[in-house]
Amino acid sequence: LLATKGNLNATARPSLGIVGSRNASVSGAKFAAMIARDAGAAGYVITSGLARGIDTAAHRASLRTGTIAVLAGGLDRPYPPENLGLLQEIVSGEGLAVSEMPFGWEPRARDFPRRNRLVAGISLGVAIVEAANRSGSLITARYAADFGRLVFAVPGSPLDPRCHGTNDLLKQGATVTTSSADVIEALAPLSRDDLFSRLEANEPSAEEPRPMPMPPDDTDRSRVVEALGPTPVAIDDLIRYTGLAAPQIHMVLVELDLAGQLCRHGGNLVSLATAE
């Protein structure tokens, strides 16, 4: 379930996600704001995670044209606290706040990858501006690639640790982004009006709704780790072998990814990271 606050009209237009470093450079924040303004003028809603740095710059630059803030905690528990004023501007104007967590929920470390999943899912494409290795922005990029979204990466100096992740994304095939036009032109074929026409909802079936799977516990995590090894395996095979629900498997994989204990390979394959 998603809880929302603000202007729901923001969901009727195609979205571009913009994420990046929390300790962004001045030039990085300026470039993110430029993409947000130009994409907003072209009809796109800007989606980001309300974090410091790049996220903040993208939200502020798109307040007039529409922006979606995806929260890691409940709608009444925004993070970081210094962006509370920005969130109020978003929901009282042309923007929207979105969360899948209940009211009163204080965000934990493991909730931020869940938020990144929503940023990728809402957007037709995600632009990464300054991201260090093993950063949350790279998690968003991986989700976007898994969901079939476009991934844009802004190249940066190889001497700046904040650009190591984005430069690696470029090596992996992300779209080189040096101007707003690179993003807008690539998204244009995907944002035709007929893709976003409103459809009449069907009546719900009389079947009982399936219960949501429980979050993974330590036993589930151990089962996944034991099933993995240095040899890449398909995530679907991992789901069948462990008997866990797909959302549980993906959450454990994200946790391993953030801990630097997972390697992702082409074809939706994963393996345990080996010590160098």
> Can you give the CATH number for the domain in which 168 is found?
3.40.50.450
The answer to whether the CB of 32 falls within 8 A of the CB of 9 is no
190 band by pLDDT with thresholds 50, 70 and 90: confident
Secondary structure element (H or E) that encloses residue 89, with its range: helix 84-92
- pTM given for the model: 0.71
Residue 149: pLDDT over 80 = yes
**Is the domain of 230 the same as that of 114?**
no
Q: Which domain holds residue 241?
A: 218-272
pLDDT value of position 189: 86
Q: How many domains does the chain have?
A: 2
Residue at a domain's end among 196, 226, 255? 196
Average pLDDT over the chain, rounded to an integer: 89
Among 84, 87, 100, 134, CA closest to 255: 134
160 band by pLDDT with thresholds 50, 70 and 90: very high
Q: Which residue has better confidence, 126 or 267?
A: 126
**Is the domain of 112 the same as that of 177?**
yes
Q: What does the pLDDT average to over 85-113? A: 93
Residue at a domain's end among 165, 196, 227? 196
58 band by pLDDT with thresholds 50, 70 and 90: very high
**Is the domain of 124 the same as that of 229?**
no
Q: Which residues pair with 67 in a beta bridge?
A: 46
**Is the domain of 240 the same as that of 189?**
no
CA distance 167 to 179: 16
In the structure encoding, which two tokens stand for residue 185, read together? 């032109």
Q: What does the pLDDT average to over 11-30? A: 94
**Is the domain of 259 the same as that of 186?**
no
Q: Give Cα 115 to chain centroid, integer Å.
A: 6
pLDDT value of position 251: 86
Write down the residue that tokens 């099933």 correspond to: 227
> Range with the lowest mean pLDDT among 11-20, 75-84, 93-102, 204-213?
204-213
Per-residue pLDDT of 198-216, as tens digits, reads 555 565 555 555 565 677 8
**Is the domain of 120 the same as that of 228?**
no
Secondary structure element (H or E) that encloses residue 55, with its range: helix 54-61
Residue 192: pLDDT over 70 = no
**Is the domain of 101 the same as that of 175?**
yes
Q: What percent of the chain has pLDDT over 70?
A: 91
Residue 26: pLDDT over 80 = yes
**Is the domain of 119 the same as that of 246?**
no
**Is the domain of 45 the same as that of 144?**
yes
CATH of the domain at 250: 1.10.10.10
Cα→Cα distances 227→58, 170, 175, 261, 264, Å: 40, 31, 34, 14, 15
**Is the domain of 138 the same as that of 227?**
no
Write down the residue that tokens 């949501």 correspond to: 212
Strand order in the sheet with 269-272: 233-234, 269-272, 262-265
The answer to whether the CB of 177 falls within 8 A of the CB of 154 is yes
